[in-house]
Structure 1
Amino acid sequence: MARLIAKSALMGLLPVTVGGISLTEVETGPVTSIAPFKGQSRAVSAVLKERVGLRFPPVNRAVAAGDVRLIWAGKGRALMLGAKPEGLEGLAAMTDQTGANAVLRIEGEAVEDVLARLIPMDLRSTVFKTGHTARTMLAHMQVSVTRVGADAFEIMAMRSMAGTLVHDLEQAAKGVMARRALG
């Protein structure tokens, strides 16, 4: 009988370090898409607050409590990472997304310069603060980018794009580090 082995989307691709930039895999735990039914947004938010201590995230925001995170994922939709939602039956459409995405953390002093080469939006800390999130393009891929610290971001892309995601980030980091070395 065949024995199946679960593999992450980024297995064998990370970690990567280029100069002061590091790419590491983020272990998300369960991932569930939550889309409140019409007229149920407040009820969903109340249940989430009661069960996990978090309200449904506002547009372009991510919220966290312990190991559980809610990330805005588009109009009327959020992703819950780190726990399975409970008590939302009849209030929201829920879809298990565990394993569907590659999620990595990119961090380092020059991280904004690296991402500026690939993402067509202003990610400077004065504009895109910790807890801000956006659906955008990274090179030619659709991604979710969330600032998780002063010099750290989490990037989520479709699992099928994991290799390309790591390659593009690594090449951009090499370019930034080479330019900095030249002074």
Structure 2
Amino acid sequence: MARLLATTPCAGLDLPMTIGGARLSEVELGPVTSIAPFAGRAEEVEARLGAALPPPGRVGAADGGRLLWTGPGRALLVGCAAPDLRGLAAVVEQGDGMAGVLLEGAAAREVLARLVPLDLRDRAFPEGATARTLLVHMAVTLTRVGAESFEIIAMRSMAATLVREVAEAMRHVAARA
């Protein structure tokens, strides 16, 4: 009988890696759940979550996890299990179908500037900001988690492409230094 081994989304992708002034490492996301409250039910969803849904472009705290704004009336609950929201919201457990990486260091913003169509300056994308965007051709959720730190969440099936694209941009930025 075959023995199945659990692996992380970025297993075998040579992480962590440091190139120039940037470091890329895998993030253990824990449970990930997409939540979209039904019309008129947002307050009840917030009561069950024990937290307010985040305003556009921001991250909110949840009991043991984080709520990432992912669009009008939608959030991604990361790091803790979702409460029972039957009848209140469309809920999709993402399981281990998501990959998370952390890009950090003095060159992190410059690396991302080559990959995403966002203004990443402090006043436009401060700590605690999040956005659904494209990274090259992949849909990702980008969150600023520190002064020089960005978390990138993509579909697990895109993990190798995500790491390859970010690593290539890291090499290009390092070559200019």
Given the two structures, how large is their TM-score scaled by the length of structure 1? 0.90
Return the match for 1:140 from 123, 137, 140. 137
**Residue in structure 1 matched with residue 67 of structure 2 by the alignment:** 70
Gaps in structure 2 of 5+ consecutive residues: none
- Which amino acid in 2 is paired with 1:5? L
Structure 2: distance between partners of 1:67 and 1:28 = 12
Residue 36 of structure 1, CA deviation: 0.6
Partner Cα distance (1:46, 1:2) in 2: 45
> What is the Cα-based RMSD across aligned positions, in Å?
1.4
Partner of 2:87: 90
Structure 2 residue aligned with 1:7: 7
Quote the offset at 1:74 in angstroms.
2.1
Matched residues, percent identical? 53
**SS at the partner of 1:47?**
helix
Following the alignment from structure 2 to structure 1, what is the Cα–Cα distance between the partners of residues 45 and 126? 26
Of 159, 166, 169, 1:169 maps to 166
Whole-Å separation in 2 of the counterparts to 1:34 and 1:65: 13
| Structure 1 residue 164, shift from structure 2 partner | 1.0
| 1:35 corresponding residue in structure 2 | 36
Between the aligned partners of 1:101 and 1:28, the Cα distance in structure 2 is 8
Aligned to 1:88, the other structure's residue is in SS state: coil
Instruction: State TM-score, norm by structure 2.
Output: 0.93
Q: How does 1:89-108 map to 2 (within 5 A)?
A: 89-108=86-105
Partner amino acid, structure 2, of 1:101: M
**Count of residue pairs brought into register by the alignment:** 176
Which deviations, in whole Å up to 9, do the C-alpha atoms of 1:37-77 show, x marking residues without a partner?
Answer: 1110111112212xxxx321111111235741111122221
Q: What pairs with 1:112-151 in structure 2 (closer than 5 Å)?
A: 112-151=109-148
2:94, 2:38 → 1: CA distance?
18
Structure 2 SS opposite 1:154: strand
